[in-house]
Amino acid sequence: MKKFSAYMVLTVLLGLGSAYGNESHEIFNRAPGFTVPDGAIAYLGSYYNPTLIWDQGNSKKYLRSAMGTQNPPAAAAVSEFQAAFVKQAAQLKIDAAPVSVSDEDRLSIIKHALHPDKFSLKPGFLAKLCGDKPYALVGLIDYYGTFACEVRIRETSDKDPKEKIDYFRMRSILERENHSRYRKVGAEELFLLSAKDGSLLWHANGVEHIEHIIFNSFWDTAVRLMEHQLKDLEQVK
């Protein structure tokens, strides 16, 4: 019987690693007249609230709830997305710093960003949290775990395939794209608001998945997704 050396085994594993890659899918929207931030950003962290993943083009059948047993715990997801933000903001030289807020306040800000007519913020609330920083950035984690298919953000209405979905102030609709190997998936939305009046200036919907399970971690999806989103925010090419 032919014996396999450690070198041969490593070569095979690296070959498998090169066969699998990563894929990202983002949708970016800006408020009319807003270009790039002109001042420092207060990063208020992320709120963990997984959503469903639907069958492709079907809003009546979902494949699995995001509350799966293979997902990292909520605290780990929030911590890793915050660490990813700090890492990428530093690399891109973005003037931003984390600001500690409660989950309750974070959720209130996200609700306001998505539905300002239903959920208002008290005057001066954001400005007090942000201090001297004119912008507030907050994240909403839609998914952080493994999934058996490729995942993407649905782009058109399931009722009318010609109708493009407007995701400004709208939460991501995640759906299966293809059946394939298990992936590690990270999906998060970022909201940039004016600290002065709470108006939403920029909204990013994003999902990143990595096919290779052995060498990559959930952390890799958070870092890559945050990199793409912050590059768009600052228009860094």
Q: What are phi and psi of 113, to 5 degrees?
A: -60, -40
Q: What is the pTM of this model?
A: 0.87
pLDDT in tens, 13-30: 433 443 345 678 999 999
pLDDT at 70: 63
pLDDT in tens, 165-187: 999 999 999 998 876 667 888 99
Average pLDDT of the segment spanning 102-111: 97
Q: State the DSSP code for 71.
A: S
pLDDT at 20: 44
Bridge pairing between strands 174-194 and 200-210: antiparallel
What count of other Cβ atoms lies within 10 Å of the Cβ of residue 98?
15
Q: State the DSSP code for 92.
A: T
Does position 62 have pLDDT exceeding 80, yes or no?
no
How far is the C-alpha of 185 from the C-alpha of 221, rounded, in Å? 6
* 67-76, 148-157, 171-180, 204-213: least confident range: 67-76
Does position 226 have pLDDT exceeding 70, yes or no?
yes
Q: Is 21-234 in CATH node 3.90.1150.10?
A: no
- Whether 190 contacts 45, CB under 8 Å: no
Confidence of residue 34 (pLDDT cuts 50, 70, 90): very high
